[in-house]
Amino acid sequence: MSILPKKNQLGFFEIRLESIGGLGANLAGKMLAEAGVLGLGLNGSNFSTYGSEKKGSPVKSYIRFCDPDTEIRAHSPIEEPHVIGVFHEALYKMVDVVSGLAPDGIVLVNSVRDFDDIRRDLQLDYGTLAVVDALGIAVEEKTKVNTAMLGALFRVCDFLDPEAMKEVIRKTFEKKYPHLVEANIRTFERGYHEVRFQTYEAPANAERKSFSRPEPLLGYETQEIGGIITANANSIFKDLSGSRQGFLPKWEMEKCIHCAACDTVCPDFCFVWEEGEDKKGRKQMFLKGIDYQYCKGCLKCVEACPTAALTECREEIGFAEKHTVKQKFPMVLGGNY
């Protein structure tokens, strides 16, 4: 008798992890598949897809499980998952993270917010929403988000054996990072026990979320010769809120000496300056604030600040929008500097 709670037409139970580079979703997918195969004797497969291999870029990891007598001959991205794990909740701004989810599917989100707020942002009409503060657990245990998310995923996928996952954690970390083994096991256990659930009942005629795959604007047939980007000043419209890994710099004007050390190390020109006069009437540039639209939370500015005017702050929904000071780009509007 199969231990898989659900199967699609090919006999697979499928999981899709939505994340950004740096949070460990790729490794989490490998460990999850390994625990199911070695711990329970299931057939399983895992692979990930991503663009540029760097922190902050969108990442998807796919896991398929099936009974031992079923062969896995499908190696395409998972379009209709039974379970979705969202490692960074701001991803919904740039990725349709619940695309293809069934009416009775389960979405696990790394967040501290209320169920209804998350449900509204994800446009989740029905299904089960699971929430765990994976970032908070990881910070307290000095580990990474992925192990806490694995703990919550094992609670969601209750057919999996948590003890098998702990053994995989030991094998994964004991050679290179033996001092992190126990901390990661604690993180896994906390994710398992601290996840919360809320089910939104689906009506009888409920339909699966339609799957959408974003198409590039320019391809091999339409790209300009030389790979030129023809959209003028396209980078000023970017929004890096989906690339942050849970923290932002917080600026306190009273402590700032306007030395520009922060601006020197900032890779994305987030700091907004304005010309003024000092106490002696001399012209000087004064820092007015941070344009969080371009801030990816690297915190290099916090390390460079000599007066602690910039400090590390855990990202909360609405904080960036409330405290941002917008950059001025008059040339975009046809004006002059």
* Segment 203-221 mean pLDDT: 76
Domain identity same for 166 and 302: no
Domain identity same for 292 and 152: no
Domain identity same for 155 and 247: no
> Would the pLDDT of 236 be above 90?
no
In a domain, 211, yes or no: no
What is the number of domains present in the chain? Answer: 2
> Would the pLDDT of 191 be above 60?
yes
| Location of structure tokens 């003028």 | 232
Provide the pLDDT for residue 289.
95
> Would the pLDDT of 333 be above 60?
no
pLDDT in tens, 16-28: 999 988 888 999 9
Provide the pLDDT for residue 331.
67
Q: For residue 56, what are the domain limits?
A: 12-200
> Would the pLDDT of 337 be above 50?
no
Domain identity same for 245 and 177: no
Provide the pLDDT for residue 233.
60
| Distant-in-sequence, close-in-space partners of 250: CB < 8 Å, separation ≥ 6 | 310, 311, 312, 313, 323
Instruction: Judge contact between 128 and 106, C-beta under 8 A.
Output: yes
Closest C-alpha among 234, 235, 306, 230 to residue 265: 306
In a domain, 251, yes or no: yes
Domain identity same for 94 and 188: yes
Closest C-alpha among 236, 232, 291 to residue 266: 291
Domain identity same for 243 and 184: no
In a domain, 213, yes or no: no
Strands 58-66 and 43-50: antiparallel
Provide the pLDDT for residue 219.
74
> Would the pLDDT of 212 be above 60?
yes
Domain identity same for 166 and 107: yes
CATH number at residue 143: 3.40.920.10
| Structural tokens at position 138 | 């990881």
Domain identity same for 243 and 179: no
Domain end marker among 182, 200, 218:
200
* Segment 275-299 mean pLDDT: 91
Closest C-alpha among 150, 237, 221, 158 to residue 188: 150
Upper half-sphere CA count for residue 237 (Cβ side, 13 Å): 6
In a domain, 313, yes or no: yes
In a domain, 323, yes or no: yes
pLDDT in tens, 54-105: 677 889 999 999 999 999 988 899 999 999 999 998 888 888 899 999 888 9
| pTM across the whole model | 0.83
| Distant-in-sequence, close-in-space partners of 131: CB < 8 Å, separation ≥ 6 | 108, 109, 111, 112, 113, 115, 118, 195, 196, 198
Provide the pLDDT for residue 86.
95
* Segment 252-256 mean pLDDT: 95
| Structural tokens at position 121 | 């942002």
Amino acid in position 8: N
Cα–Cα separations (whole angstroms), residue 107 to 18, 81, 331: 10, 10, 43
Closest C-alpha among 16, 24, 19 to residue 45: 16
Q: Assign 1 a pLDDT band (cuts: 50, 70, 90).
A: low
Q: Assign 43 a pLDDT band (cuts: 50, 70, 90).
A: very high
* Segment 30-52 mean pLDDT: 90
In a domain, 2, yes or no: no
Provide the pLDDT for residue 315.
87
Provide the pLDDT for residue 229.
66
In a domain, 229, yes or no: no
Domain identity same for 17 and 159: yes
Provide the pLDDT for residue 143.
92
Instruction: For residue 102, count other CB atoms closer than 10 A to its CB.
Output: 19
Q: Assign 198 a pLDDT band (cuts: 50, 70, 90).
A: very high
CATH number at residue 281: 3.30.70.20
pLDDT in tens, 128-178: 999 999 999 999 999 999 999 999 999 999 999 999 999 999 998 888 888
CA distance 251 to 312: 9
In a domain, 226, yes or no: no
Closest C-alpha among 159, 155, 158, 183 to residue 169: 183
Closest C-alpha among 223, 226, 183, 239 to residue 56: 239
* Segment 6-21 mean pLDDT: 93
